[in-house]
């Protein structure tokens, strides 16, 4: 038998949110609601769905790997050149491409923790060491993060707002941090949830790419644009960084349906505004109700809340699943007493809250 590369022995399997089908079958349920993977409860924009349908007639054709229309739309929105944009089969693939293009054996990469697991996965699978700074529900200090950088450091990963805590760094905090980072270290700013942020000091850093060419801003169509199933993400950075990534990018990784739906969804400001409004209202309701039940809710700028349930967190997750409600336990993130709940539609949030109240009173 062929032996896998030795780096693989350090990797653990990715733990995704449970699927609706899985829970429906296991418990024989008709109604199952999933508030576990931060998907858009309103679905994709109707305009994106229409664009998706139109692609059916050209399924026999290869996609345009260079996605010129999509790149134009992104360039216009961020005020950058198209040569500063990379796209990928979900932003997960963009993280993977960063690994392939920049992370070498014996390097290290640093990240705030707890955070999204893919950064560590990519680091380890390229033979480098991952250094996590911070723990639990406390926001990691970017000063501490800067102090952890050494001669071996290649990439610093910052998820903003952070998954799974929902907390965020302001523009001043990120800019102060960037000033401390050597130019040969890539700062991977994962803004998967940026479109949900309402804080006035939330960063808008594309205009600072000239000043900080080592900044890398990652975005996705999976969250507010509701296209998680199509797999498409993008990032903006310096021309030199992006050029290296296009070299190792699989040529047809972003399919034509994803490109067409992304372009249409990107332009549908009404759908984005509706989603944001529903999200802000949902955060208020869920926060108020969880707090009134005695649970601590971390402040969030994303489309989810992180709630401290305590020792019985796992028990709550199972109880909810058996009643048709999927949320995310955070054991795999190193927060076994917390859960992450995606903000749903009002009736979905109400369904969740009714079950949590029942669980609590039944003791």
Ligand X SMILES: *Cc1c(COP(=O)(O)O)cnc(C)c1O
Question: Where do contacts with ligand X occur on this chain (CB under 6 A)?
Answer: 38, 90-92, 116, 159, 163, 190, 192, 220, 222-223, 228, 233
Q: Identify the H or E element spanning 315.
A: helix 313-322
Minimal distance in Å, beta carbon 3 to ligand X? Answer: 29
Considering only CA atoms, which of 236, 219, 206, 213 is closest in space to residue 84? 236
The residue whose two tokens read 């000063």 is 143
Minimal distance in Å, beta carbon 5 to ligand X? Answer: 23
Considering only CA atoms, which of 231, 250, 230, 265 is closest in space to residue 66? 250
Minimal distance in Å, beta carbon 163 to ligand X? Answer: 4
Give whichever of 91 and 323 is closer to ligand X, judged by the CB atom. 91
Minimal distance in Å, beta carbon 14 to ligand X? Answer: 11
Give whichever of 87 and 320 is closer to ligand X, judged by the CB atom. 87
Tokens of 212: 């900080």
Give whichever of 63 and 166 is closer to ligand X, judged by the CB atom. 166
Minimal distance in Å, beta carbon 354 to ligand X? Answer: 27
Give whichever of 282 and 324 is closer to ligand X, judged by the CB atom. 282
Residue 42 CB neighbour total at 10 angstroms: 16
Give whichever of 78 and 225 is closer to ligand X, judged by the CB atom. 225
Cα 126 from Cα 104, distance rounded (Å): 6
CA 156 to chain centre: 16
Q: Give the 3-state secondary structure of residue 350.
A: helix
Minimal distance in Å, beta carbon 339 to ligand X? Answer: 16
Minimal distance in Å, beta carbon 111 to ligand X? Answer: 11
Residues 6+ apart with CB under 8 A from 285: 346, 349, 353
In DSSP terms, which residues pair with 235 in a beta bridge? 86, 218
Give whichever of 163 and 275 is closer to ligand X, judged by the CB atom. 163
Return the ∠ at Cα 146 (arms to 142 and 152), rounded to 5°.
145
Tokens of 189: 């700013």
Q: Are strands 296-297 and 328-329 parallel, antiparallel or unpaired?
A: unpaired
Minimal distance in Å, beta carbon 229 to ligand X? Answer: 9
Minimal distance in Å, beta carbon 100 to ligand X? Answer: 16
Give whichever of 71 and 192 is closer to ligand X, judged by the CB atom. 192
36 within 8 A of 164, measured Cβ to Cβ? no
Give whichever of 140 and 163 is closer to ligand X, judged by the CB atom. 163
Minimal distance in Å, beta carbon 99 to ligand X? Answer: 14
Considering only CA atoms, which of 32, 4, 70 is closest in space to residue 260? 70
Considering only CA atoms, which of 312, 301, 271, 24 is closest in space to residue 163? 301
Considering only CA atoms, which of 122, 117, 164, 162 is closest in space to residue 142? 162
Give whichever of 164 and 324 is closer to ligand X, judged by the CB atom. 164
* Sheet hosting strand 215-220, strand order edge to edge: 85-88, 233-236, 215-220, 186-190, 153-159, 108-112, 129-133
Give whichever of 263 and 356 is closer to ligand X, judged by the CB atom. 263
């Amino acid at each position: 038998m062929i032996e896998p590369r030795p780096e693989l022995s350090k990797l653990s399997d990715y733990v995704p949110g449970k699927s609706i089908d899985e829970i429906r079958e296991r418990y024989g349920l008709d109604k199952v609601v999933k508030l576990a993977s931060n998907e858009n409860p309103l679905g994709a924009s109707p305009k994106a769905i229409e664009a998706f349908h139109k692609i059916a007639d050209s399924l026999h054709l290869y996609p345009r790997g260079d996605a010129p229309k999509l790149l134009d739309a992104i360039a216009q929105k961020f005020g950058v050149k198209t040569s500063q944009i990379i796209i990928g089969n979900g932003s997960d693939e963009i993280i993977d491409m960063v690994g392939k293009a920049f992370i070498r054996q014996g390097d290290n990469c640093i990240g705030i923790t707890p955070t999204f697991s893919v950064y560590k996965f990519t680091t380890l699978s390229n033979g480098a060491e991952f250094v996590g700074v911070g723990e639990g529900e406390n926001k990691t200090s970017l000063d501490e993060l800067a102090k952890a950088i050494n001669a071996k450091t290649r990439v610093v990963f910052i998820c903003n707002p952070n998954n799974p805590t929902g907390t965020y760094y302001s523009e001043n905090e990120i800019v102060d941090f960037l000033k401390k980072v050597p130019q040969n270290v890539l700062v991977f700013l994962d803004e998967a949830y940026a479109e949900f942020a309402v804080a006035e000091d939330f960063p808008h850093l594309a205009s600072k790419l000239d000043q900080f060419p080592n900044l890398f801003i990652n975005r996705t169509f999976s969250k507010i644009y509701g296209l998680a199933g199509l797999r498409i993400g993008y990032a903006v950075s310096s021309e030199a960084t992006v050029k290296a990534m296009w070299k190792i990018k699989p040529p047809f990784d972003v399919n034509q349906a994803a490109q067409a739906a992304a372009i249409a969804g990107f332009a549908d400001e009404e759908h984005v505004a509706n989603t944001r409004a529903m999200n802000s209202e949902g955060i208020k309701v869920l926060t108020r109700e969880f707090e009134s039940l005695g649970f601590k809710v971390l402040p969030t700028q994303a489309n989810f809340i992180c709630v401290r349930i305590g020792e019985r967190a796992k028990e709550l997750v199972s109880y909810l699943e058996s009643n048709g409600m999927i949320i995310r336990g955070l054991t795999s993130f190193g927060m076994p007493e917390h859960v992450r709940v995606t903000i749903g539609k009002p009736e979905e949030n109400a369904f969740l809250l009714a079950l949590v109240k029942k669980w609590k009173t039944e003791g």
